[in-house]
Amino acid sequence: MILSPAERSYLYDSLIQKPTIRPDSRAEHQMRPLEAKTSFLPGSNGSARIRLMDGSECIVSVKAKVVVAAKEANLIECDVDVVGFRDNSNFVSNLKFNLTNLLQQNFPSDYLRLTSKYSFKLFIDCIVISHSSYPLTLISLTSYLALKTTKLPLLVSETNDEEIAELPTFSDDWDNAKPIADYFKGKGKEFQPPIFITLGYVGSNLIFDPSVEEEQVLENGLIVTFYNNKVITPIANMNLAVNSNNSNFKGLNQTAIIKSIQMGNKFGGAIIRALDALIEQDDDNDAIF
């Protein structure tokens, strides 16, 4: 995606206005509208799909497997596949690193423990079918929906297997399966997977969820994590315009970083509420496509 110098300077001049004037008139804290659908893959424990108006689309499938907990380095494994990019390209590797890190740091995987010996391990597969802007938020919001709607089969064997070596057995009836959230409720905790919010920094303005055109003129980009109703680590900056010759790219200042955290704290909750509201409304009668 190349912009002409005139387009670039017009866009930059608009974005640095106070308040910022974005090409689609979005407010600085406004995300692009999404269209989402959950639990549509019959072979997965949880699944979700999000589409944007510009045709960007991501599908996430969550599968669970019973493992011996002591043998696993981590109980959540992510894989990201982006159409048009090699699996070991810098672009895909970074997305995968970020998503893995997000869940590794902020997903309480202890709750996946089945017995003293065995545990569930979650495999999260993300496919980005099409994207224009940096797809990290798209992937993380889709994973949120998929994890939130993931159902795990009901354990019928004993939870204490320290004395007797016994493989965990599960109820045959899928209707008995419980969402992950129930595992958390039993332990007195609300289940809310972490999400990423992408922010663009331009002329002391911070804008949520920059579009591909906006990315081309940003001075810097920030990725903040929102978890349990507040901003938390990992937080990092990055050049969102991948492979571009962005001549505006420059450093940040402390105020911008603090402001990004404040904005995340202020508006992140609304994103979570919108996602949760969608899950509640979602039913099987919806069209998949």
Partner 1 sequence: MNVSDVISITRPTPATIDSDVDMSDDESTQVKLSIVTPGEMVTDDPVWMKGHGTYFLEDKTYSSVAGNISRVNRLLSVIPLKGRYQPETGDHIIGRITEVGNKRWKVDIGCKQDAILMLGSVNLPGGVLRRKSESDELQMRNFLKEGDLLNAEVQTIFNNGIASLHTRSLKYGKLRNGIFLRVPSNLIVKSKNHSYDLPGNVSVILGINGYIWLSKTTNSSHNKNMTVNSNANKINASGDPSYVPGAGSVAITRLEEESSWEIYSDKNDPNITNSVRSNITRYNNVIKALAYGDLGITEQRIIMGYEASMAFSNVGSMIDKDAMESICQDVINNEKMRG
Partner 2 sequence: MSERRRLLGPANTFIPNIGITSTTEEAVKTRKRDEIRKFFLKTGLIENANGSAYLEADGTIVQVLVFGPRPIRGSFIERASFSVECKFLPHIAQPNEGIFNTGSNNNNGNYRTGLTNIEQKISSYIETSLLPSIILEKYPKSTIDVFITVISSDSIEDHGGKTTNSGLLNLVNWVLNCSSVALADSGIELKDIVSSGVVRLDKEGIVLDPQETGGEGIDGLVSFMNLRNDEIVGFWMEGDEDLEEKDVERIIDGCNTMSKKIRANINSYLLEQAS
Q: Which residues bind partner 1 (CB under 8 A)?
A: 2-7, 9-11, 13-14, 17, 21-27, 29-37, 51, 53, 208, 213, 266-267, 270-271, 273-275, 277-278, 281-282, 285-289
Of 203 and 234, which has the nearer Cβ to partner 2? 234
Least separation in angstroms between residue 164's CB and partner 1 is: 47
Q: Is 53 in the site for partner 2 (CB under 8 A)?
A: no
**DSSP single-letter state for residue 33:** P
**DSSP single-letter state for residue 289:** -
CA distances in angstroms from 162 to 52, 158, 181, 265, 286, listed in the order given: 49, 10, 26, 43, 46
Q: Residue 28 and residue 188: Cα distance in Å, rounded?
A: 36
Q: Residue 222 and residue 240: Cα distance in Å, rounded?
A: 8
- Per-position x/- string for 58-97, each x denoting binding to partner 2 as judged by CB under 8 A, each - no binding: ---------------xx--x-x------xxxxx--xx-xx
Residues 213-232 binding partner 2 (CB under 8 A) are 222, 230-232
Q: Which helix (H) or strand (E) holds 82?
A: strand 76-82
Least separation in angstroms between residue 75's CB and partner 1 is: 29
Amino acid present at 5: P
Within 10 Å of residue 268's Cβ, how many Cβ atoms? 21
Least separation in angstroms between residue 33's CB and partner 1 is: 4
Least separation in angstroms between residue 269's CB and partner 1 is: 8
State which of residues 14, 30, 101, 109 lies at the interface with partner 2 (CB under 8 A). 101
Of 58 and 66, which has the nearer Cβ to partner 1? 58
Residue 100 zone, left/alpha/beta (φ > 0; ψ -120 to 50; rest): alpha
